[in-house]
């Protein structure tokens, strides 16, 4: 593991802010046609974890602002839902093309504001492009079913209708991609969206809003089809309590998700929750160790361990334990830690000082419980690390009973555990409250099938010979248990954004009742 100080820059070239209509000034950020910044209101300051510099300030939405946004969205819904779904898909297609134009600039903003590597920043924008492509095809495939009626000369079928306003609360670690998973699908389904981006990465959200505003303006469509409200938890509370928002999709911690779920359920609304993960890879005695090292290392250190699908636990068969540990130590020695805008660096910073403290606390708890350090952690300091958010990815040998192993720490900490029998490994894999992503590395078909069977992984995602991180948009994304149970992105997850209606049509001259009930009148 090395620190790449030589490529650090004292000042990051922020030309991408101008490309995204985000003009950096001493006062804050002017967001062009959306006019979100207002110096007379309270603001959120966006500091880059890359160099600790203030990127800009964004005004916090007031209750009056929020009411204006929701009213604007309601009015836009009346227009948007009347467009045929393929026409809505055409608008999403145009947005995907705009994202292709802005991919470099938006990817750099994501990297600078959030701290993930530039490759991952570009990858996140590519994920947005991919979901737009998926949604375009979906706009012609919002299928219902036709059923045979038990009554003569009757026809039964089902159809799907838009819900109205979809509220989206996103997290800092994927400041734009997860929003797009929800928004692109919701749009082609006929909904409009109100988005609360993470207060830790608001400028990335504003940039996406600016780009989509270009598409709406070019097509003479109301701006309320996509709305954005910046703020803290109070803004999120307004959304979860608002009966005008039938569906709230929230991504974040399990603690946050429980609060959102309870509040929305109290008004009989719907939620789509994507919450914490505590993901494990099982390494069997027949595993291809080359795949193990690559998949585990990226899964554990990608986004500096701040993915909900990050690999937290490695459950290794006794017979290959020492080889895997040795391979990981060598891999970690090759990691370059530094400015994520430098493509040669693998690992950027954690998001802020609070994340650094959680990282340090988790290491302390693991060691206090008896954990054995394999790769030393620690906070980096000195030239290029002035933000105080750069840490060293670490590896700790633990036993299953350590309480810290059951908790998700959003940081690059990897725990190693031993097993001797696959049933034991599956037990260890499932013995945590979370249930998002999981994987097994094996060349044994029987072990693979056991892991994927009903006695195997209890997670929403179960992979074979790839890591826990890096999901494609074609599959439904989500998990079980404290992960929330929601599904976003691909497959048939579009159904969460619509309401189902069953229709029966009688084209006879009689009125027979179901189940043969007789109800005759003279």
Cα separation of 442 and 282, whole Å? 8
Q: How far is CA 294 from CA 70, 180, 298, 327, 331, in A?
A: 46, 28, 6, 10, 8
Known active-site residue 488: no
Tokens of 277: 């993960």
Cα separation of 199 and 161, whole Å? 32
Contacts (Cβ under 8 Å, ≥6 apart) of 214: 98
* DSSP β-bridge partners for residue 397: 372, 416
Q: How far is CA 270 from CA 69, 132, 499, in A?
A: 20, 24, 11
Encode 140-198 in three state secondary structure.
CCCCCCEECCCCCCEEEEEEEEECCEEEEECCCCCCCHHHHHHHHHHHHCCCEEEEECC
* DSSP β-bridge partners for residue 314: 281, 416
Cα separation of 135 and 191, whole Å? 13
Closest CA to 428 of 448, 453, 398: 398
Known active-site residue 193: no
* Chain centre distance of CA 474: 14
Closest CA to 198 of 217, 179, 225: 179
**Could you give the count of Cα atoms lying within 13 Å of 329 in the half-sphere of its Cβ?**
12
Cα separation of 259 and 11, whole Å? 40
Q: Which of 274, 408, 482, 488 is catalytic?
A: 274
Number of helical (H) and strand (E) elements in the chain, helices listed first? 13, 27
* DSSP β-bridge partners for residue 395: 375, 414
Closest CA to 169 of 221, 242, 68: 242
* Chain centre distance of CA 340: 20
Which H or E run contains 417? strand 413-419
Classify 176 in phi/psi space as left (phi over 0), alpha (psi -120 to 50) or beta: alpha
Pair type for strands 154-162 and 498-506 = antiparallel
Cα separation of 507 and 153, whole Å? 6
Cα separation of 392 and 1, whole Å? 8
Closest CA to 457 of 472, 442, 470: 442
Active site residues: 274, 308
């Amino acid at each position: 593991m090395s620190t790449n100080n030589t490529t650090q820059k004292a000042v990051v070239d922020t030309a991408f802010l101008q490309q995204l209509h985000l003009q950096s000034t001493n006062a804050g950020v002017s967001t062009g046609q959306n006019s979100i910044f207002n110096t007379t209101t309270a603001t959120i300051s966006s500091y880059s974890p890359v160099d600790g510099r203030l990127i800009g300030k964004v005004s916090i939405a007031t209750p009056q602002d929020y009411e204006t946004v929701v009213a604007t969205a309601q009015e836009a819904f009346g227009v948007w839902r009347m467009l045929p779904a393929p026409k809505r898909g055409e608008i999403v297609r145009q947005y995907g093309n705009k994202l292709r134009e802005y991919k470099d600039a938006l990817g750099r903003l994501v990297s600078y504001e959030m701290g993930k590597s530039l490759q991952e920043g570009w990858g996140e924008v590519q994920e947005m492009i991919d979901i737009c492509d998926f949604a375009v095809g979906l706009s012609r495939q919002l299928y219902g079913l036709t059923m045979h009626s038990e009554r003569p000369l009757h026809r039964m079928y089902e159809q799907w209708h838009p819900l109205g306003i979809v509220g989206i609360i996103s997290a800092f670690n994927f400041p734009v991609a997860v929003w797009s998973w929800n928004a692109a699908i919701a749009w082609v389904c006929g909904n409009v969206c109100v988005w609360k981006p993470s207060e830790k990465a608001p400028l990335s959200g504003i940039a996406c809003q600016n780009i989509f505003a270009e598409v709406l303006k070019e097509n003479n469509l109301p701006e309320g089809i996509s709305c954005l409200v910046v703020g803290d938890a109070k803004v999120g509370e307004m959304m979860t309590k608002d009966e005008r928002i039938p569906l709230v999709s929230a991504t974040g911690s399990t603690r946050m998700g429980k609060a959102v779920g309870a509040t929305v359920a109290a008004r009989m609304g719907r939620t789509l929750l994507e919450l914490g993960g505590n993901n494990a890879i099982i390494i069997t005695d027949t595993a291809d160790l080359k795949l193990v090292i690559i998949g585990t290392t990226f899964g554990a250190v990608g986004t500096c361990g701040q993915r909900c699908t990050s690999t937290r636990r490695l459950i290794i068969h006794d017979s290959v334990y020492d080889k895997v540990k040795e391979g990981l130590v060598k891999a970690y020695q090759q990691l370059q830690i530094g400015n994520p805008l430098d493509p040669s660096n693998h690992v950027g910073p954690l998001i802020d000082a609070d994340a650094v403290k959680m990282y340090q606390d988790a290491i302390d708890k693991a060691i206090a419980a008896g954990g054995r350090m394999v790769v030393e952690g620690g906070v980096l300091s000195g030239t290029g690390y002035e933000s105080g958010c750069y840490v060293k990815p670490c590896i700790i040998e633990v036993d299953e009973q350590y309480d810290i192993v059951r908790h998700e720490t959003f940081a690059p900490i990897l725990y190693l555990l031993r097993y001797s029998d696959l049933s034991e490994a599956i037990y260890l894999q499932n013995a945590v409250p979370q249930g998002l992503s999981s994987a097994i590395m094996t060349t044994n078909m029987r072990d693979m099938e056991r892991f994927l069977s009903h006695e195997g992984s209890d997670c929403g995602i179960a992979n074979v010979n790839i890591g826990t991180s890096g999901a494609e948009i074609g599959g439904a994304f989500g998990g079980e248990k404290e992960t929330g149970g929601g599904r976003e992105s691909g497959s048939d997850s579009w159904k969460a954004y619509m309401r189902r209606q069953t229709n029966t049509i009688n084209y006879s001259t009689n009125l027979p009742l179901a189940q043969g009930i007789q109800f005759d009148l003279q």
